[in-house]
Structure 1
Amino acid sequence: DLSLLRFISAELTRGYFLEHNEAKYTERRERVYTCMRIPKELEKLMFFGIFLCLDAFLYVFTLLPLRVFLAMFRFITLPCYGLRDRRLLQPAQVCDILKGVILVICYFMMHYVDYSMMYHLIRGQSVIKLYIIYNMLEVADRLFSSFGQDILDALYWTATEPKERKRAHIGVIPHFFMAVLYVFLHAILIMVQATTLNVAFNSHNKSLLTIMMSNNFVEIKGSVFKKFEKNNLFQMSNSDIKERFTNYVLLLIVCLRNMEQFSWNPDHLWVLFPDVCMVVASEIAVDIVKHAFITKFNDITADVYSEYRASLAFDLVSSRQKNDYSDSVSRRMGFIPLPLAVLLIRVVTSSIKVQGVLAYVCVVLFYCG
């Protein structure tokens, strides 16, 4: 017989019978554990990848000048000992000289770009317009990075291609000018990004900085609901590593410019510190949330990030064994250090004034150290 009391009694005493769906609930529990492991595994991959980017970036300032010097020394002294080889220079040495010449030419070209005028021009724009500009710059940076590596590789191959082969290119000089133009334009684009970020830091109400950070969370919407395979997730992880490293360099440039404006007052560094931490924390939070839900929706375990680290380590070792002229790890990540290096050299030389013999000695000791 149906009655209200019997219905209430049944509702209060009935069980859930979770053991009947043991596999289902075990899988749900494993998903929770996977989401809990994602931050640790992801940050281990990010930490390793950022150091790989740093290695490729510092290579431009440390080993590349020495390699260019050795290549030029070989080019000058080899005829004195007789030409034993058909090539004056090895292919790797040709590529090193091309990199060095591009770096020097673009550095002098950057002197014609007025940073102060660019800063005040951007500062005079409205918040919404700057928000749109910053989004456009991010898209343009990815496009430049994608096409720029092809331009540089085409130059290196054209300059080192065996002469016996049939000519199927437009020549080394046109490729060289294309590479110089690319590095110069990409450096200007990154400078505009850094200037926009600097304007956001120096705005009174911090509204632009808040909008720019909230833009990172829009990235979650465009990623988590898409179908991802392991290879696609690896590509996105590499892109996130490159993006985070670039943002760190942009923050360094912003701090240098601000410290110069305040005569290198250490107290002003503590004024910038909360904003820097806020930008870094938002980047980390967005990456963690994005990867956690992507792995959840696509049934990917957290162990895949260990495989990604192993793959990057294998690429690093193999590139060293093959004596590759270009770091295959940075190519995989889409990270091109030349434009960023040109901009950083330009900012450092304009922000830090070196005067006197003692100052130059300190610079040399710092470089050698």
Structure 2
Amino acid sequence: MSRNQNIQTPPFHRIQIKKKIQTLLKNDIFGYEKEIHYPISKKGSSPIQQSVNLTQQIVNENTIPQSVKSFIQTPFYLERSVLIGLLISWDTFSSFLLFTPLRIISYFYQLIFVNEKVVIHYKRIYDILMYLSTLFCVIIIYQVDIGFVYHYIRAESVLKLYALYNALGMLNSLLSAFTFDIHSSLLISIKNKKLYDSILFFILTVFITLLHSFNLFFYIMALNVAINSKGHALLALLVSNNILELKSSVWKRMFPENVFQVLCADILELFELFSFVILLSLSNFGYYEWDIESNPDLLISMIYSLFLILLAEVIIDSLKHMFIGKFNNIPLSIYDKGKFVLLNDLISTQDGLFKIPSLDSTSTSARRLGMPAVPLSVLFICFGLETIPPSHFNLLFIISLLLILYLFKILLAIALRYLAFAEVTQHTYESDDLVTVMKGIARYVMEKGRIPQ
């Protein structure tokens, strides 16, 4: 066999990849409707046969020595997938915060200045309504005094604050699950040109967004009180609360599909923690008018407390996945396949993956991870307006800040999509039943009788 015959032609050439990425970004920024098909094949066996085959394969492959090796190697495979998931989470969140306004501006520009007849697209109407609800919630929450709420929560007892913290965390998950249904109903109602349904679901969208934003606002304030508590006793109590995750996950039967769902939940939880870290930094530094040199103890205390929270989260997640894999004979390949599915979501704008029209290349990622992009955007805008000194609000500062944010967003989007095409080129899972099942799994969809908390 000749040398040329040994070399396989990759499914995506570099020029093709470049053109596809340009198409994806144009669709995300300007709202051009170009469909790129999902690279994973939809062919597969029946769901019952898939579960039997997967379970039999896992039992046969995992001998006792291999199980010990897998147990030790789990954190490395896990954190590699989590890191990619965090970058995808930021890309998904910033797409709504930064790219949706550009699509709206581009739509109005074509509507006003372009001579050609512009079709009123239901997706652009949905974008406009979603950002109107966001701005309305910003106006409401901006009126709330951050200092008053902080001191009101701080006056409560430790047990009350502990109960409040857990209740707000649970309510966050419930609201996120319900929010996706409301948003999907609004989008489908606009698509089907049902005026009364569209008005009803828009009102519900505003209400649920406002409620969810307030929930996250009080959650952040409770976390801030815990960080600033005397002796960090309350903070230690909240960190120890993460250990309860082990009880709710480790001692229950799980399938590979459930592990992927838990992985998505852990990625979102860690991303929310990072987001809360940024918002808390804005709040605390803004309170001292960004005079960090005069308050070095504040900076050291915040870094220590936030590092402790993030470290505890990473350790607990690693232990959780290590014992889930041990007790359920889950192969380490589940994390590589999960990373493949998450990256593959970014290079497909095909509608119908979750039976919901796709707005941009991050729509699938948002639903798969359960990203609360709208309430988080409300809080980022509110905290930014509240804590950045008024003297900085000039045209040069605003333009510079927007340029930095958009530059970082575009570079991240390009890098992730290049990585996604490289992943698809390197790994072919066309005949893998597990990957076929995983591509239909979302964060708040029942899978094998379970939804991770």
What band does the TM-score fall into relative to the shorter chain? Answer: 0.7 to 0.9
Partner of 2:241: 215
1:255/1:96 Cα in 2 relative to 1: closer, same or farther (>3 Å)? same
Q: Does residue 43 of structure 1 match 2:79?
A: yes
Partner of 1:360: 395
1:208/1:273 Cα in 2 relative to 1: closer, same or farther (>3 Å)? same
SS of residue in 1 equivalent to 2:63: helix
Structure 1 residue 195, shift from structure 2 partner: 0.1
CA distance in 2 between partners of 1:315 and 1:159 (Å) = 24
Structure 1 residue 77, shift from structure 2 partner: 4.3
Letter of the 1:121 partner, please give it: Y
Aligned to 1:328, which of 340, 364, 377? 364
Structure 1 residue 346, shift from structure 2 partner: 0.3
CA distance in 1 between partners of 2:155 and 2:378 (Å) = 27
Q: Does residue 67 of structure 1 match 2:96?
A: no
Unaligned 5+ segments in structure 2 are: 1-58, 405-453
2:93–2:371: 8 Å Cα contact kept in structure 1?
A: no
Partner of 1:92: 123
SS of residue in 2 equivalent to 1:317: coil
CA distance in 2 between partners of 1:143 and 1:31 (Å) = 36
CA distance in 2 between partners of 1:40 and 1:356 (Å) = 43
**CA-to-aligned-CA distance 1:173-217 (integer Å, 9 cap, x gap):** 111111011111101000111000000111112111111100001
Q: Does residue 282 of structure 1 match 2:288?
A: no
SS of residue in 2 equivalent to 1:222: helix
Aligned to 2:344, which of 314, 325, 340? 314
Partner of 1:128: 159
Structure 1 residue 263, shift from structure 2 partner: 2.7
Aligned to 2:190, which of 156, 159, 177? 159
**CA-to-aligned-CA distance 1:290-348 (integer Å, 9 cap, x gap):** 00000000001111100101111222211379992151111011112010110111011
CA distance in 1 between partners of 2:227 and 2:368 (Å) = 32
1:130–1:196: 8 Å Cα contact kept in structure 2?
A: yes
Letter of the 1:289 partner, please give it: L
Letter of the 1:151 partner, please give it: I
Letter of the 2:150 partner, please give it: Y
- Answer with 1 or 2: which has the greater Rg: 1
Aligned to 2:136, which of 84, 95, 105? 105
For the aligned residues, what is the CA RMSD?
2.2
CA distance in 1 between partners of 2:86 and 2:276 (Å) = 14
TM-score norm. by structure 1 comes to 0.86
Structure 1 residue 127, shift from structure 2 partner: 0.5
More helix by share: 1
2:78–2:335: 8 Å Cα contact kept in structure 1?
A: yes
**Bigger shift: residues 116-125 or 56-65:** 56-65
Structure 1 residue 261, shift from structure 2 partner: 2.2
Aligned to 1:351, which of 380, 387, 411? 387
1:242–1:335: 8 Å Cα contact kept in structure 2?
A: yes
CA distance in 2 between partners of 1:207 and 1:56 (Å) = 35
2:289–2:389: 8 Å Cα contact kept in structure 1?
A: no
Aligned to 1:303, which of 333, 340, 344? 333
Map residues 227-238 of structure 1 onto 2, 5 A cutoff: 227-238=253-264
CA distance in 2 between partners of 1:44 and 1:330 (Å) = 20
1:354–1:360: 8 Å Cα contact kept in structure 2?
A: no
Partner of 1:7: none
Partner of 2:300: 270
CA distance in 2 between partners of 1:176 and 1:27 (Å) = 55
Aligned to 1:202, which of 219, 228, 238? 228
CA distance in 1 between partners of 2:205 and 2:167 (Å) = 23
CA distance in 2 between partners of 1:170 and 1:285 (Å) = 49
How many equivalent residue pairs?
Answer: 335
Letter of the 1:36 partner, please give it: I
CA distance in 1 between partners of 2:350 and 2:343 (Å) = 11
CA distance in 1 between partners of 2:401 and 2:138 (Å) = 21
Letter of the 1:212 partner, please give it: L
SS of residue in 2 equivalent to 1:226: coil
Partner of 2:53: none
SS of residue in 1 equivalent to 2:391: coil
Letter of the 1:269 partner, please give it: L
1:95–1:325: 8 Å Cα contact kept in structure 2?
A: no
CA distance in 2 between partners of 1:92 and 1:274 (Å) = 44
TM-score norm. by structure 2 comes to 0.70
Letter of the 2:359 partner, please give it: Y
The percentage of counterpart residues that share the same residue type is 27
Partner of 1:261: 287
Structure 1 residue 170, shift from structure 2 partner: 4.2
Letter of the 2:282 partner, please give it: L
CA distance in 2 between partners of 1:292 and 1:356 (Å) = 48
